[in-house]
Amino acid sequence: MSAQREMKERNPWLSPATIIITVIGAIAIVALVTVAVLQNKPAPQKYKYGIVLDAGSSHTALYIYQWPAEKDNNTGRVTQKHSCKVKGKGISSYADTPEKAGQSLTECMREAEKQVPIKRHNETPLYLGATAGMRLLNIENSQASDKVFAAVAQALQRFPFSYQGARLLTGQEEGSFGWVTVNYLDDRLKQGIETTGALDLGGASTQISFVPDGYDGSESPDNSVTFRLYGNDYNLYTHSFLCYGKDQALRLALAHQTQSGQATISDPCFHTDFSETKNYTDVFDSPCVSERKPEGTPTNFTHRGEGNFQQCQEVVKHIFNFTSCKYSQCSFNGVFQPPLQGTFGAFSAYYFVMNFLNLTDESLSLETVKEKLAAYCATSWEQIKQQYPKVPLKYLAEYCFSGTYILTLLTEGYNFTSDTYSEIKFIKKIKGSDAGWTLGYMLNLTNMIPAEAPDSPLLPYPSYVAVITIIVIALAILLILVLRPIWPRCSKQPQIV
């Protein structure tokens, strides 16, 4: 025992203080290295989900969104996981058979059941927003509109999601949520940089939304929406023109040309050789044109094409009112619009029409676009059918009108010029998510965009790793310095006899 005591006294390595320092140092190094390794190791990602149904005038589409579950508190990046186009027309077309409106959603809802993990079904919010088609039905027959909504609600409640209701969006909501979507997906809101305007074109309405310089909304409060997002204030100008979606605009153009009630209509907005018998009632069975139907018209008329872009543009101009404006500046129909500001994303029918016509290239000038469209409209109907054999004839016949309408709406209606037209980008998706109002709508209802900017970590991840590394190295050096004086003596430990 005395020999062991003597050995401990002569060997500081075995002293309590040295042992404690060694153990603490070793534990600290192991702990810091473990934390750094775990921090750097990617954890299995878990997601939450949201579903939005866009019940438009011509069709309904379902969108599934997802975001990191552990970042649900205002920091998770929301992206589109899946989309499904509902077969058939929009729910407003089922006014006489409302139960079919709900049935039409079944196939896409079953897809949603497969796309969202079963364990997330009960907590996944499900929304349906109806736009201009249902707005028109509500104007024409509010009871029929209510029955369609009731049938849709009944159908959606059969599925295992957290149903949050079906409602009619206002035009202002449709425009502003489309603007939120475009700028959220492009990270402009989070970064607080200049925003992009939103141009949305549907079948029954069209929306324009942007943030003008110095705009306070005082001149026309009805067109103003204020957002505070990520600590930044946005005074948004937005307006929705009901009846100026491309389908209803075609009705307005036909109504203008059929005022005399003649049996044959020569239409410059359709290709030469195009000829089709149409029913007057089919043209005027919308609230947008019902009051314009001339008396004493025959039951049918022959709709013939002439294929002339310039003349078509003159026809389209007649559906706008440019004569009255009580404000400092207007777009059309006496609606206030401040000067255009910045770049614009044009989506929905803007994209689909211009993409079909091969006119989405950003390098194309406005003059070149007009020339190409004029050449397309002048092409005979027989040649167009041969060139696009897989496109349904109804849609194929209307592209000349739709393209002409888009250019006229942008230049004559919204006041884009040859210089500012280049600021329009025709877009379908942004970073894998469809451009449209649905994402902005869900972000708003789920409070996924904070009013104030979320607190940032004290150190970015690379800096954090660097600091941990420096601390580990410093502790290792300190441990070496503490133990170095005793190493020579430790190597000369006495033999125990």
List active site positions: 174
SS3 category, 205? strand
Taking Cα atoms as reference points, which of 275, 419, 277 lies closest to residue 340? Answer: 419
Nearest to 85 by CA among 117, 57, 49, 53: 53
Length of the chain, in residues: 497
With b meaning 16 or more CB within 10 Å and e meaning fewer, what string describes 55-93? Answer: bbbbbbbbbbbbbeeeeeeeebebebbbbbebebbbbbb
Tell me, what amino acid is at 349?
Answer: A
Phi, psi of 319 (to 5 degrees): -85, -5
Long-range contacts of 119-124 (CB under 8 A, 24+ apart): 120/47, 120/48, 120/49, 121/160, 121/161, 122/160, 122/161, 122/162, 123/48, 123/162, 124/48, 124/49, 124/50, 124/51, 124/161, 124/162
How many Cα atoms are found within 13 Å in the side-chain-facing hemisphere of 91? 37
